[in-house]
Amino acid sequence: MTGPPAIETSDLAKQYGDKTAVAGVDLSVDTGEVYGFLGPNGAGKTTTMRLLTGLSTPTSGEASVAGESVDDRRRLVSRIGYLPETPPLYDEFTAREQFDYVADLRDIPSATADERIDAWLERFDLADDAGRRIDSYSKGMRRKTAFVQSVLHEPDVLFLDEPTSGLDPRAARRIRECIDEFAEDGTTIFLSTHILPVVEAVADTVGVLFDGRLVAEGTPSELAERAETGAGGTLEDAFLAVTDGVDDAAGSDG
């Protein structure tokens, strides 16, 4: 892709008291790229995503998304979609009420919103349950509802945190298909998940975060080749080799 990166950071850092959550991360993600963001629990992935979506303020460094500084959330919010691991849903709403509410917040024209909502309800097998309160939904139904609300306004950059968690194989496949379709249409996807086969299937580039630092980056095949198992390695092998190696190095330094 030509033009400026869709996501760009320079020495991005976040400190909570004496604890470093993100330590000088440099990222450059092209428009239309699917970027897989991996790391063990506590590595700083969610904090990084909160920084990139304007929900948290960096301690130092700079970041821009879709050409907007993350310091200007008012301008940023219309350009991005965000599916957090624990999505904001109103249990007393029905799914359709939730989508209507989001469409109104996003200033989507009523006719356009109705058309998009109907299409997404059908695609994720929610049409028959659209009039039920969300508090009666299963975890998978809630996850599908949250995904739809994050993409309803057709954002330029989409941040997904564990998008297939709790989904059955059919729904998980539809999420992967959506990711591929969005990327083909020029949407940039920043994907964080522990389900490595999903990353292998859809990601153009993978970054591995460990202890707040970006310790490896490359295509899934490039990272797999770095695994100790050699050319027959998988992304899982690479992830374990990279994070174990960093852990061991840190331990040897005392």
Note whether 91 and 77 are within 8 A (CB). Answer: no
Spatial strand order of the sheet with 68-69 comes to 19-29, 7-16, 60-65, 68-69
Residue 215 has pLDDT above 50, yes or no: yes
Going by C-alpha positions, the residue among 152, 174, 153, 133 that lies closest to residue 163 is: 174
Q: Which domains does the chain have, with CATH numbers?
A: 1-79+156-164+188-254 (3.40.50.300)
E-strand ranges in the chain read 7-16, 19-29, 34-38, 60-65, 68-69, 80-83, 157-161, 188-192, 205-210, 213-218
- What pLDDT is attached to residue 245? 54
Reduced to 3 states (helix: H, G, I; strand: E, B; else coil), residue 186 is coil
> Scanning the structure block, which residue is given the tokens 């957090």?
84
Of the pLDDT bands very low, low, confident and very high (cuts 50, 70, 90), residue 227 is: low
Question: Helices (DSSP H) in 85-138: which residue ranges?
Answer: 95-105, 110-123
Residue 253 has pLDDT above 70, yes or no: no
> Scanning the structure block, which residue is given the tokens 């506590």?
42
Residue 176 to residue 236: CA distance in whole angstroms: 19
User: Who has greater pLDDT, 233 or 102?
Assistant: 102
Q: What is the mean pLDDT of the chain?
A: 91
Going by C-alpha positions, the residue among 6, 166, 9 that lies closest to residue 86 is: 166
Residue pLDDT, tens place only, 30-68: 999 999 999 998 999 999 999 999 999 999 999 999 999
Residue pLDDT, tens place only, 107-160: 999 999 999 999 999 999 999 999 999 999 999 999 999 999 999 999 999 999
Of the pLDDT bands very low, low, confident and very high (cuts 50, 70, 90), residue 163 is: very high
- What pLDDT is attached to residue 232? 53
DSSP 8-state class, residue 47: H
Of the pLDDT bands very low, low, confident and very high (cuts 50, 70, 90), residue 224 is: confident
Residue 249 has pLDDT above 60, yes or no: no
